[in-house]
Structure 1
Amino acid sequence: MFTKLLKTFILMILFCTTAQAQVQDTIVVARDGSGKYRNIQEAVESVRAFMDYTVTIYIKKGVYKEKVVIPSWIKNVEFVGEDAENTVITYDDHANINKMGTFRTYTVKVEASNITFKNLTIENNAERLGQAVALHTEGDQLKFINCRFLGNQDTIYTGAEGTRLLFLNCYIEGTTDFIFGPSTALFDHCTIYSKSDSYVTAASTPQSVKFGYVFKNCKLTAAPNVTKVYLGRPWRPYAATVFMNCELGKHILPLGWHNWSKTDNEKTARYAEYMNTGEGASTKERAAWSKQLTKKEAAEYSVENMFKTTSNWDPYK
């Protein structure tokens, strides 16, 4: 009897040890070969599908020139860079390479949900020869914390209806429509840097979705020669974009918003501001079809309200 119990106990230990060996809590990526992988995509492909535990892919300083795709069967993964400025994922595709088109130009494409990025730079450093996406998202409940997004036209594409994203303490730069798409996204304490006279946002919020792009406590800055920038123009008629408690630089035009040369958009686009400051925040000459929120209306833009859909999500927890 004792011998049988002992064998069972040993088998249980072996089973637990094997199970633990299959769980990769942290995967290290390093260009210098000091990690398990030299490329980020290799680390992604090593992650088990539909995990119910969190895996950290820790990326050491270096320049990673690769197109990275996080597929839909991956979840609960945190991509953590060693240093935001010196951990760089970069590529240089643009829309006019072999008729590639905008949506294949990404450097990083996130098809998965429940993914977090921290302390990283995601860059598309193509020449200014067409649209060139740095980050393309399709998943839900995505968080970007202390990240940098570098590019020109179309830097960030939030590409799926009904998805929810948080950008916290991020730096985002670009030229034209460099934050665009249909997702609900909160930009909190971010720096938005315009590199040319153009448009910051081009939301395509569906009519049925109340919240599109919401910028809170952000700072809008520009290159020294940039003097004529619109806050946004509607890529689709019901575009929704709000700037709240933001500092708007003098490069923001007094009109504030553009109708994309379609007067019908003025009847449907949902553009608003609340308590902004800075040289570009004056509301005296704002587009008559945009709105200044009341205190009560502004209170509706809470995290709880914005991210409540079929499931509640608080990205700050």
Structure 2
Amino acid sequence: MLCSILLIAVYPILISCSKSPETTDETTPIEEEDKTINADAVVAADGTGDFTSLQDAINAAPNNRTAYYYIYIKKGTYKEVVTVPRNKDYIYVVGENEVTTVLTYDNYASRLKPDGSEYGTSGSASFFVQGNNFVAENITFENTAGISAGQALAININGSQSAFRNCRFLGHQDTWYAGNGTYQYLKDCFIEGSVDFIFGGSTAFFDNCQLESTRNGYITAASTPEAQAYGYVFHHCTLTARPEIASNSVYLGRPWRPNAKVIFIECAMDKHIQQPGWHNWGNPDNEKTAFYAEYKSTGAGASIDTRVSWSRQLNDEQAANFSYDKVIGDKHPNFIADDINLVIADN
């Protein structure tokens, strides 16, 4: 019987091996038993897995788990609205490749449901996370409704804690959303959009991510609750735009709610970023309550001297209050360690 081993790392690769021990010493197999995890389910669009639908694989996971249920998704485009329900905690999904493993749909806020009502902004997502301790790696979450469709989410997160590594979130207006009181850690991810494409009231730490603007607009629309210590922290991120996007045409953010908190820490910003940096959403009172800050921004869009007067440039001591450990360190599920192999059985 053959098996495949997915090496979980920042740049994973897929290799094959034989279960027959190929060793220099017949008593010692190549793989150390404690260095592997068996996938609980395999999803494959071509029928070579346990399921052809990710939703079916999630539905098959036992309810109310306290240990991870690992789902491996082979490359392919899966057009379905997927929900991780509240009774499905500890779901861990791993794609074969973040570019070729695509979860997609094309709903949008004003689209009518079969019952004649609109999906609305929150209901337009292609992927819903309701379960706690959700983790995803090497996957594209996509909404293809188009740039003129209005609000159209790629993902809607309401599970209390989640983590994403090497994932892509593709859409335009309102691409990525996470609700109040939730925590997310995003590592080495790509997020694109036009208007308010990272929004909501969560505590989220974006680590070494790329934020790509698809037209003029606003990157963030945080709605951080007043009593919440942190909102969005972007750490060592890169802010880019499609080639046709004009210089000085994209704001770092505007406050969806008065107490929005957004901080950029040592981020590289291209020329598309507006020189004022931040927008008050047409309400001067928001300038008194929103916390918008930067620390050591670089690039053509890092126009520190022209930022709005009500934003902040942090010093070293202030920036230390927005470190990974203080913002999110013990509040998100961990990724599989780089030296652990996820083993899947070939059908």
TM-score by length of 1: 0.89
3-state DSSP class of the match of 2:66? coil
CA deviations on 1:53-88 (whole Å, 9 max, x unpaired) are 222100000000000000111122210000100000
Supply the AA of the counterpart residue of 1:191: Q
CA deviations on 1:110-166 (whole Å, 9 max, x unpaired) are 00111100000000000222100001000122001000010010000112x221101
Q: Give distance in 1, aligned partners of 2:264 and 2:59.
A: 38
Q: Give distance in 2, aligned partners of 1:192 and 1:164.
A: 19
Question: Of 197, 200, 203, which residue of structure 2 is paired with 1:184?
Answer: 203
Question: Of 70, 83, 97, which residue of structure 2 is paired with 1:83?
Answer: 97
Q: Give distance in 2, aligned partners of 1:275 and 1:69.
A: 39
3-state DSSP class of the match of 1:288? coil
- What pairs up with 1:129-168 in 2 under 5 angstroms? 129-159=149-179, 161-168=180-187
Contact 2:231 2:262 in 1 (8 A): yes
Is 2:188 aligned against 1:169?
Answer: yes
Contact 2:194 2:213 in 1 (8 A): yes
Contact 1:25 1:54 in 2 (8 A): no
Is 2:252 aligned against 1:231?
Answer: yes
Is 2:321 aligned against 1:300?
Answer: yes
Which one scores higher on RCO, CA 8 angstroms, separation ≥ 6?
Answer: 2
The residue aligned with 1:121 is: 140
Q: Give distance in 2, aligned partners of 1:313 and 1:143.
A: 10
3-state DSSP class of the match of 1:122? strand
Count residues with an aligned counterpart: 291
The residue aligned with 1:13 is: none
Supply the AA of the counterpart residue of 1:56: Y
3-state DSSP class of the match of 1:103? helix
Is 2:65 aligned against 1:46?
Answer: no
Supply the AA of the counterpart residue of 2:131: A
Question: Of 281, 285, 291, which residue of structure 2 is paired with 1:260?
Answer: 281
Moved over 4 A (4+): 314-317
Q: Give distance in 2, aligned partners of 1:36 and 1:169.
A: 29
Q: Give distance in 2, aligned partners of 1:291 and 1:44.
A: 44
- What pairs up with 1:173-252 in 2 under 5 angstroms? 173-226=192-245, 227=247, 228-252=249-273
Structure 2 residue ranges without an equivalent (≥5) = 1-37, 113-117, 336-347
The residue aligned with 2:331 is: 313
Supply the AA of the counterpart residue of 1:271: Y
Q: Give distance in 1, aligned partners of 2:282 and 2:63.
A: 46
TM-score by length of 2: 0.82
The residue aligned with 1:93 is: 107
Q: Give distance in 2, aligned partners of 1:136 and 1:30.
A: 24
Q: Give distance in 2, aligned partners of 1:292 and 1:154.
A: 27
Question: Of 248, 256, 272, which residue of structure 1 is paired with 2:293?
Answer: 272
The residue aligned with 2:28 is: none
3-state DSSP class of the match of 1:304? helix
What's the offset of the Cα at 1:100? 2.1
Q: Give distance in 2, aligned partners of 1:282 and 1:54.
A: 45
Q: Give distance in 2, aligned partners of 1:314 and 1:187.
A: 12
User: More strand by proportion, 1 or 2?
Assistant: 2
3-state DSSP class of the match of 1:273? strand
CA deviations on 1:166-187 (whole Å, 9 max, x unpaired) are 1110010001000000000000
3-state DSSP class of the match of 2:186? strand
What's the offset of the Cα at 1:315? 4.9
Structure 1 residue ranges without an equivalent (≥5) = 1-23
What's the offset of the Cα at 1:225? 2.1
CA deviations on 1:224-256 (whole Å, 9 max, x unpaired) are 221200000000000000001100001001100
What's the offset of the Cα at 1:316? 5.4
Supply the AA of the counterpart residue of 1:104: G
What's the offset of the Cα at 1:52? 2.2
Supply the AA of the counterpart residue of 2:48: S
User: More helix by proportion, 1 or 2?
Assistant: 1
Q: Give distance in 2, aligned partners of 1:107 and 1:185.
A: 20
Supply the AA of the counterpart residue of 2:81: K
Contact 2:133 2:332 in 1 (8 A): no
